[in-house]
Structure 1
Amino acid sequence: MIEQLRIKEAIKEHGTSINEVAEKMGISRFTLSTHVNGNPSTEILLRIADAIGCPVTELFEQPKTDSLTLICPHCGKNINIKVE
């Protein structure tokens, strides 16, 4: 099972912005956005985690066994569905 990255959410949860993370990493906002929206290397993931002060595992979604989360195509919000 492939885990999904949740870099943007982790950045927000740590009270920082893409601009601040890029500055801490010594790269441009555009370069960081390219990594975040693409397929970042392990090195980049480690640098992002270091910049926001979290373990790299926090950048990955944890699988949920008792619920299913969908994203609304209109507003982008999560829709949680309980699996029984």
Structure 2
Amino acid sequence: MIDQLKIKEAIKNHGTSINEVAEKMGISRFTLSSHVNGNPSTEILLRIADAIGCPVTDLFEQPKKGSLSITCPHCGKDISIKIE
């Protein structure tokens, strides 16, 4: 889910910067920022993960143990589900 992306946090946690990731990807910082702040494609997410040396799952918010949250496709509200 795009609103749960944590790309900037993953980049920081892997000891690099937006500028370094953009350079490794062969694109401008502006272009990378546009992707990060917009709706990046699967290809871009994979390229970012490769550039910072992490699995693509590191770019997404991980569900908390014991609960799951989904977004209603009609109203956009979060729905929390308790896992037992």
Q: TM-score, normalised on structure 2? A: 0.74
Measure how far apart 1:11 and its partner are: 0.1
Letter in 2 for 1:22: A
Taking the TM superposition and a 5 Å limit, the aligned residue runs for 1:1-84 are: 2=1, 4-65=4-65
Identity of aligned residues (%): 88
Measure how far apart 1:63 and its partner are: 1.3
Q: Superposition RMSD on alpha carbons, in Å? A: 1.5
Q: Distance in 1 between matches of 2:30 and 2:41?
A: 16
Of 58-67 and 19-28, more deviation after overlay is shown by 58-67
Q: Distance in 2 between matches of 1:18 and 1:58?
A: 16
Local SS of the residue matching 2:9: helix
Structure 2: gaps spanning 5 or more residues: 68-84
Aligned length, in residue pairs: 66
Letter in 1 for 2:53: G
Q: Distance in 2 between matches of 1:15 and 1:53?
A: 10
Structure 1's consecutive aligned runs of 4 or more residues displaced over 4 angstroms after TM superposition are none
Measure how far apart 1:66 and its partner are: 5.5
Query: Which residue does the alignment assign to 1:74?
Result: none
Q: Distance in 1 between matches of 2:57 and 2:15?
A: 18
Q: Distance in 2 between matches of 1:50 and 1:65?
A: 27
